[in-house]
Amino acid sequence: MEAFYQLNIASIILTILLFVLFLVRKSYPTISRRLFKYLIAFNALSAACEILVVFLGTGTLVLPNFWQQFFVIFYYLIHITLHYIFLYYVTSSARGYLATKAEKVIFSIFYCGLILLLLSNPMHHWVFIFDETNHYEYKFGLIIIIFVCALSLVYALVVTLRNKKNLKKLQLSLDVFFLLVWLAAILVEVIVPHVYIENFMITITVLLCTIVTDNPEKYFYANTGVYNEETFNIVFGEKLKNKVPFKLVCFAYKDFNLYIQKVGLKRANVAIFETLMHLKKQFGQQFVFSLRRNVFVIDATRATWDLESTCRDVAEKCYKGGLEHNPDLKLEAQFTVIECPHDCNNLTDLHSAISMMLFDPENNKGELVSHFDTKLLDARHRRERIVMRIHDAIDHDGFEMYYQPLYNWKKNRYIGLEALIRFKNNGEDGEVYSPGEFIPIAEEEGLIFDIDEIVFEKVCRFVRNTELAKYGVEFIDINLSLLKLLDPSTFERYKELAARYEVDPKFINLEITETAEGDGKYLTVVRNNIAKFRDAGFSFSLDDYGSGYSTVVYMAEMDVKIVKIDASILWNAMKNRKYYTVLENCVRLIYCFDKECVCEGVEDEAMATLLKKLGVDFFQGYLYSKPVNEEQILKLLAEKNKIGGGLLKADSRKFR
């Protein structure tokens, strides 16, 4: 019995020291951290109560019956609460959120049931009873309490192991060790009467966890006393998972990399340090976070200050960038406000929102303080889904070809086709992705190389399998991105594919466009690569002329045979006399350069009549056909180009 007193007294002393240590040392404000503090406090209280209960149970201490009943019930209430807190601690540390709704309901039912069992003990004596000598005896109700507490530890162990991917190896090992030791202590107390070691073993394992894993300095930014990005992720990751509302004011200095180049890294770090010190002084340590070198976050959830004036004050009072040394240098701040979970519901989106608003001038619109628009995140998610869809389509044959005919009104038949790529089963998942949306993204992500090659091979296969020339088709247009054209291996690869599918290169017309500003510097390379293709028999056309990409100089420099006028020129010309003049001069200029002219976007007879008047020979648009699949285009060609019951034989030299 003396050893029992010593163990519990040691447990109380160690637990109190741990609790004081937690209060004195810097800590990060997370749910699991607070629960750990409660765990320590309740363990100390449980150890103290256990000494008192043992005194009462052995008759060492005699109190009136009411107080005897009270202190024993109070001890078991504390003990049950200790297990209840630990359950929530395990779920929050292992999964990042307290518990699911179902778990909360189940935990609460068991907790309230045990409390009711204890509080009603004076009436039924199911848990314990004091005899005539003031010794108390355990009843079957205590077995139920011990079983439920042990069951809670087993469940905590299951949760920990099922979520082991969320925990570092050391943390996982310590949590499992903690649970096994606790379960072993309960088992020992059940098997060996009057051996009370549970609280002491809890204290030892808590102490071990604290010594091994608790390193507060890693949660602060470079000796500033300001929380760093890891702390930010823990704090607000938990809040997002538990759907706790919060508001953040984020800010960064504009053009900070340029500032580093001008003043050097050392002075730039001084600027960051001075900024953090000012923010900590103005808002308090617990509300300021530093993400990377130049991203600062203020937790304004409970703030009562005026947003605009406070941000303006921060911008004026923060470090002035060494103006005393160089008056020309100035650090300008950019602020944004993000409210969660309305704006973002996970940590990845939150970081994306901060970056989008602070470092993209188009999103913050040059305002000192901007508010996050969820449409930006929706657009980002859509882009991510498109990138995934492109990757999947490349890897699993997820593209299909559609074709739109080119109409020669003088011959009253279709003389060519343009090959257009589409996703297979587009729209079946509720979202439709047009080529105008996913092709630019493919170019930005470097996926256009694979797409261009897939298109070329599919078209070659289609031409061979259908003997397309027999349908009166004289050529087929295939889009070729500028990036693919610049690739020196493209020519050999395309020539090899055409030979493999036995397609005469003269049947293929490659469409190019000037798709990015500044591509003029590659003009010589483009011209040389076009020359290789043309020497092999391929022909070229310039697409989207007049759209803002293709210039007169570009048209003059490129060795192309066909120029396609963009649909926007035609549509505007139908409504505006000035645009009619633009269209008229585009057609005249194209013929002056001795090139063939095709006009896109022809949707009605009025447009066709206008183009005939201007001398355009070839039309493309919905008046003749929308883009259709392989089966439909063959049917359309057979109906339109059939003469005397037979199919026209194409002259593939028409545009060569």
Angle between helices 490-500 and 523-535 (to 10 degrees): 20
Which segment of 35-39, 247-251, 287-291, 318-322 scores lowest on mean pLDDT? 318-322
Mean pLDDT calculated for residue range 311-316: 82
Judged against a pLDDT cut of 50, whether residue 333 lies above it is answered with yes
Q: Looking at residues 530-549, what average pLDDT do you find?
A: 86
Q: According to the model, what pLDDT value does residue 12 have?
A: 77
> Side chain identity at 498, as an amino acid letter?
A
Give the pLDDT mean for 582-590: 92
- Neighbour-count burial of 648, counting CB atoms closer than 10 A to its CB (0-12 exposed, 13-18 middle, 19+ buried): buried
- What's the burial of 382, exposed, middle or buried (CB within 10 Å: 0-12/13-18/19+)? middle
Query: Average pLDDT in the 648-653 region?
Result: 45
pLDDT: which is higher, 219 or 521: 219
Q: Could you tell me the maximum CA-CA distance found in the chain, to the nearest angstrom?
A: 121
Mean pLDDT for 310-339 is: 72
Write down the mean pLDDT value for the chain: 83
pLDDT at 327 over 90: no
Specify the CATH number of the domain 219-372. Answer: 3.30.70.270
pLDDT at 5: 61
pLDDT of residue 133: 65
Q: What is the pLDDT of residue 102?
A: 85
Q: How far apart are CA 379 and CA 358, in angstroms?
A: 17
Q: Dump the DSSP string for 176-217.
A: HHHHHHHHHHHHHHHHSTT---HHHHHHHHHHHHHHHH--GG
Confidence class for position 645, pLDDT limits 50, 70, 90: very low
Average pLDDT score over residue span 607-635: 93
Residues 459-468: what's their mean pLDDT? 94
What pLDDT score was predicted for residue 655? 39
What pTM value is reported for the model? 0.64
Instruction: Go through the chain and tell me how many residues it has.
Output: 656
pLDDT band (50, 70, 90) for residue 483: confident
| pLDDT value, residue 248 | 94
Greater pLDDT, 55 or 344? 344
Question: Which residue ranges make up each domain of the chain?
Answer: 2-214, 219-372, 396-426+448-647
In the block, tokens 């010794």 appear at 135
pLDDT grade for 419, boundaries at 50, 70 and 90? very high
2-214 and 219-372 in the same fold: no
Is 454 a residue whose pLDDT tops 50?
yes
Give the pLDDT score at 647: 47
Instruction: Identify the CATH homologous superfamily for domain 2-214.
Output: Rhodopsin 7-helix transmembrane proteins (1.20.1070.10)
Which residues pair with residue 619 across a beta bridge? Answer: 407, 599
User: Tens digit of pLDDT for each residue in 386-418?
Assistant: 999 999 999 999 999 999 999 999 888 999 999
Q: Give the CATH architecture of domain 396-426+448-647.
A: Alpha-Beta Barrel (3.20)
DSSP structure class, residue 650: P
pLDDT, tens digit, 9 for 90 and up, residues 228-242 = 888 898 888 888 888
Highest mean pLDDT among 155-169, 336-350, 536-550 belongs to: 336-350
**Rounded mean pLDDT, 561-586:** 91
